[in-house]
Structure 1
Amino acid sequence: MNDNDFRTVEAQLREQSAAYCAANHVPGFVAGVFHAGRQAVVAHGTANVVTGAPMREDTGFLIGSVTKVLTTTLVLQQVDRGVLDLDAPVVSYLPEFALNVPGAADKILVRHLISHTNGIDADLYFPDAKGRDALKAYVAGLADSCGVLFEPGEQLSYSNGGMIVAGRLLEVVTGLSFPELLQRDLYGPVGMKDSSTSAEQAILRGTAIGHFPDPETMEARPTGLFTLPDTWGPAGGTPIGTVADLLAFGRTHLAGGVSPSGARVLSAASVALMQQVSYDMRTPNVPPMGMGWVRYPFGDVTVLAMSGASPGGVSLLCVVPEHDLVFAAYGNTPGAIMLHDQLLQWLLREHLGVPIPRLVTEMRQDVDLTPYAGTYRSDQLRIDVSIVDGQLEERTTYEPADGAQERIFTAFAGGAVSAPPQRYVPIRPGLFAPAGYPLEAFDGYLRLLLVSYHDIREGRARFRNGGGRLTRRV
């Protein structure tokens, strides 16, 4: 690749970002690409509509669930050092770990925490604790508040709870708080020089805030919540970084665990283990899971990825080992995920020449819908599925356990506790697409919009999977 080719990449990022932000009420966006030794970062718009501060190439932002790959890396570092065993029960290191189903926690292994196969039903559990004992308080609360969705290793469900328990496990075996460990063992060695772990640190430098579209005007309004509670740190509640920092982390995984500065951060074996398939549900809407990384197939090329929602913002980190490429981006409204997807697909198709086959080629009219109708539940979430006019109609409602949970969730979601009814049309038995979307919408990252149903018993599905998360029929 020559300099002209890379200047074309930089220009495309800049032009496409500016056009999308202007057309879709996104105040600000920042993105970067590393490819074959060259790196570029571009920024557009406003980081905060209240202050008018510009989005700059070095503006910080909440990285959200991208943190899960960092947490997994920290766990594998302790495996490298002989401190942790992936096949040991979590309770052998963390005896206070329990769920409200007797004996359920005893079956969960360390590897289940970071491969999203643990079955902990705590996806929307938001205890509001601060400071050094926040993760300890989270784990203590699980015993009374949260149960299980499935037996460990039986299914795959995106797990905030698993990552938070992993963060507490790290604190116990290292003697450091999760923020201290993140700073010492990742930010420093990787060279993430502008990253931080709290709002108090972030305020000392330029940091973006999130925004939500006004329901009437669609204009962006600022979030009323900057970060989630400290209890959610290891799952993505509090870490803050820049695009350059995320590119450095991605490059470390490209280079077999060696950071851009030459520091050995993780063994090559552990880097490879994170990239291997840990569980595959064999459905297009749930890509195979590694450890930390989600393995998105784009034709014959695998993109290791993780996106990160924060209150009113969304980030994305992608690593493409076969092409020596890292892509990172952040937009300060939730709808910016559409731009992330467009840029990623442009990089694959136009820059790398990767053919991306159509994931969904047709809809079906002859699918029996009766196995899927019913009510599905997970922690504080209810999804009612009915048959209406030959389609599935879903009504999703958040049912908070208490006032604190409601306050945190509604602020995180921009004020809503329920979603408008959504119709779904069948692609094939057990797989559905939201009505009204063009088929090509699902070729890329937004395949997560598809919904699947699993484990049909006596003519009824036991599980629904949307966005990688399971709910269980009740």
Structure 2
Amino acid sequence: MNDNALHTVEARIRQQAAAFCESGNVPGFVAGVHHAGEQTVVAHGTANVATGAPMREDTGFLLGSVTKVLTTTLVLRQVDRGLLDLDTPVVTYLPEFALTVPGAADKILVRHLISHTNGIDADLFFPHDKGRDALKSYVNGLASSCGSLFEPGEQLSYSNGGMIVAGRLLEVVTGTPFHDLLAREIYAPVGMKDSSTSAEQAILRSTAIGHFPDPETMAAKPTGMFMLPDTWGPAGSTPIGTIADLLAFGRTHLAGGVSPSGTRVLSAASTALMQQVSHDMQTPNVPPMGLGWVRYPFGDTAVLAMSGASPGGVSILCVVPEHDLVFTAYGNTPGAIMLQDQILQWLLSEHLGVQIPTLVTAAGQDVDLTPYAGTYRSDQLRIDVSIVDGQLEERTTYEPADASQERIFTEFAGGTTSAPPQRYVPIRPGLFAPAGYPPESFDGYLRLLLVSYHDIRDGQARFRNGGGRLARRA
């Protein structure tokens, strides 16, 4: 990439960030692109409205679920060493791993944990423990609190629980606490020199905090909770890094597992395995899954991606192997995901010349809605689906397990855990789009807003998938 092309990318991101942040009440945004040996980082706005601290190019932020790709990389490092085998049951290494459904945990293989095909129904299970035994406590709590959504390998459902179990598995087979392992085996060899895993470390340098829109004024107000509990570390609650750090990590996966400094972090075979399709639900709202990476198809181009929600913020990391490009960004309100999607699509279509096809065309005609109506459940969530005026109407209810988990989830969600009913229009049998959105809305990252239904038996769908997460018919 020549300097002129890099300058164009930088100017475009700067322009898009300024316009979006002003119109969307996003206090601050920071993004970076590495392409063909050149790199740029752009920062805009404010990192913390309570202090007025500026968002700088080297400002740190919570990685959120981008951490899942780091956790998966750690698992594959142990596979390279012979400490783990992907096709061995987790209980072989972690005998205490159990779920409320007898025998369900015994069938889960190591690969199911990192391919989101494990079926662990624990997406909102938030035990509040700190310190070195946090992951041990989480795994112990699963046995009495969380069941199974499906048989391992049968379906795909985005799994925080699977990644947290993988983190505990790493602790057991290496004898090293997860945070120490992350620092030693990812941060150091990759060159993520400004990354950390605690608020105590983050406060020593420039670090952004999240914000939520005030319900009355819509102005951004600071989050009341910086990070989720330590129990969610491997899924993304605690790691903090910078744009430069994530670009270095993305470049390591571009280069077959070799970091920018020349250190081999992962074998070429394991790096390639992470990028290959491990499960495909054959529906546009659930992109094919690799190991750790989600494989977003933009026409014939695969974008390896993971986004990461934190309290009042959202990060993203995208790697485009066939074009030697890494894009990463963070915005400090949840709505910044829209800006990240805009920039990604511009980079693909305008900068790289990728043809982005339309995923969703006109609404489907004469689709029988009766197989989809009913009640679906997953961990602490209930979704009631009814037929209204030729559309599906969904009502989602949060049903907290206890007061502690309710407090954590409420703070994570910015105080709002209930939503008004949402109408969906049929696209084709089994696939629905939220009413009122233009079809082109779903061509990029926001295809996750589509809802699909799966495994119809006796005229009824067994599963609903929204945002990559399954709920099972009650």
TM-score normalized with structure 2 length: 1.00
Question: 2: CA distance between counterparts of 1:24 and 1:175?
Answer: 46
How do residues 219-368 of structure 1 correspond to structure 2 at under 5 angstroms?
A: 219-368=219-368
Provide the secondary structure at the position in 2 that maps to 1:281.
coil
Question: 1: CA distance between counterparts of 2:349 and 2:220?
Answer: 31
**How big is the shift at 1:289?**
0.2
**How big is the shift at 1:260?**
0.3
5+ residue gaps, structure 1, are: none
How do residues 195-210 of structure 1 correspond to structure 2 at under 5 angstroms?
A: 195-210=195-210
2:430 alignment partner AA: G
Q: Which residue of 2 aligns with 1:387?
A: 387
Question: 2: CA distance between counterparts of 1:179 and 1:138?
Answer: 15
Question: 1: CA distance between counterparts of 2:21 and 2:365?
Answer: 37
What is the aligned-residue identity percentage? 85
Question: 1: CA distance between counterparts of 2:40 and 2:65?
Answer: 23
1:435 alignment partner AA: A
Provide the secondary structure at the position in 1 that maps to 2:86.
coil
2:286 alignment partner AA: V
**C-alpha distance after superposition, 1:234-293 (max 9, x if no partner):** 000110000110000000000000000000000000000000000000000000000000
**C-alpha distance after superposition, 1:115-165 (max 9, x if no partner):** 000000000000000000000000000000000000000000000000000
Q: Which residue of 1 aligns with 2:70?
A: 70
**How big is the shift at 1:366?**
1.0
2:336 alignment partner AA: A
Question: 2: CA distance between counterparts of 1:341 and 1:101?
Answer: 39
Question: 2: CA distance between counterparts of 1:422 and 1:322?
Answer: 38
Provide the secondary structure at the position in 2 that maps to 1:8.
helix
**C-alpha distance after superposition, 1:313-349 (max 9, x if no partner):** 0000000000000000000000000000000000000
Provide the secondary structure at the position in 2 that maps to 1:394.
strand
User: 1:428 aligned to 2:412?
Assistant: no
User: 1:59 aligned to 2:59?
Assistant: yes
2:209 alignment partner AA: I
Question: 2: CA distance between counterparts of 1:325 and 1:124?
Answer: 34
User: 1:375 aligned to 2:375?
Assistant: yes
Question: 1: CA distance between counterparts of 2:252 and 2:84?
Answer: 22
2:384 alignment partner AA: D
Question: 1: CA distance between counterparts of 2:199 and 2:404?
Answer: 20
Provide the secondary structure at the position in 1 that maps to 2:349.
helix
- Count of residues in Structure 1 that have an aligned counterpart in Structure 2: 474
1:52 alignment partner AA: G
User: 1:24 aligned to 2:12?
Assistant: no
**How big is the shift at 1:417?**
2.1
1:416 alignment partner AA: T
Moved more, 271-280 or 215-224: 215-224
Provide the secondary structure at the position in 1 that maps to 2:463.
strand
2:102 alignment partner AA: P
2:325 alignment partner AA: L
**How big is the shift at 1:226?**
0.5
Moved more, 362-371 or 127-136: 362-371
1:231 alignment partner AA: T
2:425 alignment partner AA: V
User: 1:463 aligned to 2:463?
Assistant: yes
Question: 2: CA distance between counterparts of 1:328 and 1:388?
Answer: 41
Question: 2: CA distance between counterparts of 1:360 and 1:92?
Answer: 44
Q: Which residue of 2 aligns with 1:157?
A: 157
Question: 2: CA distance between counterparts of 1:422 and 1:312?
Answer: 23
How large is the Cα RMSD of the aligned pairs?
A: 0.5
Provide the secondary structure at the position in 1 that maps to 2:75.
helix
How do residues 400-415 of structure 1 correspond to structure 2 at under 5 angstroms?
A: 400-415=400-415
Question: 2: CA distance between counterparts of 1:212 and 1:366?
Answer: 40
5+ residue gaps, structure 2, are: none
2:56 alignment partner AA: R
Provide the secondary structure at the position in 2 that maps to 1:334.
coil
1:286 alignment partner AA: V
**How big is the shift at 1:365?**
3.1
1:440 alignment partner AA: E
**C-alpha distance after superposition, 1:329-377 (max 9, x if no partner):** 0000000000000000000000000010100011123111111011100
Provide the secondary structure at the position in 2 that maps to 1:387.
strand
Question: 2: CA distance between counterparts of 1:194 and 1:298?
Answer: 32
Question: 1: CA distance between counterparts of 2:452 and 2:215?
Answer: 29
Question: 2: CA distance between counterparts of 1:6 and 1:297?
Answer: 25
Question: 2: CA distance between counterparts of 1:420 and 1:221?
Answer: 22
**C-alpha distance after superposition, 1:158-192 (max 9, x if no partner):** 00000000000000011110000000000000000
Question: 1: CA distance between counterparts of 2:179 and 2:337?
Answer: 27
**C-alpha distance after superposition, 1:72-129 (max 9, x if no partner):** 0000000000000000000000000000111111000000000000000000000000
User: 1:48 aligned to 2:52?
Assistant: no
**How big is the shift at 1:416?**
1.5
Moved more, 299-308 or 356-365: 356-365
Q: Which residue of 1 aligns with 2:85?
A: 85
**How big is the shift at 1:221?**
0.7
Question: 2: CA distance between counterparts of 1:176 and 1:420?
Answer: 45
**How big is the shift at 1:397?**
1.2
**C-alpha distance after superposition, 1:33-90 (max 9, x if no partner):** 0000000000000000000000000000001000000000000000000000000000
Q: Which runs of 4+ in 1 moved over 6 A?
A: none
Provide the secondary structure at the position in 1 that maps to 2:129.
coil
Provide the secondary structure at the position in 1 that maps to 2:166.
helix
Question: 2: CA distance between counterparts of 1:181 and 1:42?
Answer: 30
